[in-house]
Amino acid sequence: MKHVVKILSLLLAVSAFWITLLQAAIVPQSHTWLLPIYFVVSLGCYGLLMVGIGIMQFPTCPQESVLLNHDIAEAKDFLSTNGIDIGSVTVLFNTKA
Taking only the tens place, the pLDDT of each residue in 2-16 is 778 888 888 888 888
46 and 32 share a domain?
Answer: yes
Q: pLDDT: is 3 or 76 the higher one? A: 76
Q: Is the pLDDT of residue 96 over 70?
A: no
The answer to whether 20 and 35 are in contact (CB under 8 A) is no
**Confidence class for position 74, pLDDT limits 50, 70, 90:** very high
Alpha carbons 54 and 39: distance in angstroms, whole number: 22
- Per-residue model confidence (pLDDT) at position 46: 87
72 and 34 share a domain?
Answer: no
27 and 51 share a domain?
Answer: yes
Q: How many domains does the chain have?
A: 2
- The beta strand positions in the chain, using DSSP E, are none
Q: Is the pLDDT of residue 94 over 80?
A: no
Alpha carbons 22 and 32: distance in angstroms, whole number: 7
74 and 50 share a domain?
Answer: no
52 and 66 share a domain?
Answer: no
Q: What percent of the chain has pLDDT over 90?
A: 3
41 and 6 share a domain?
Answer: yes
Question: 40 vs 14, 37, 72, 85, CA distance in Å?
Answer: 11, 5, 45, 54
Range of the domain at 39: 2-56
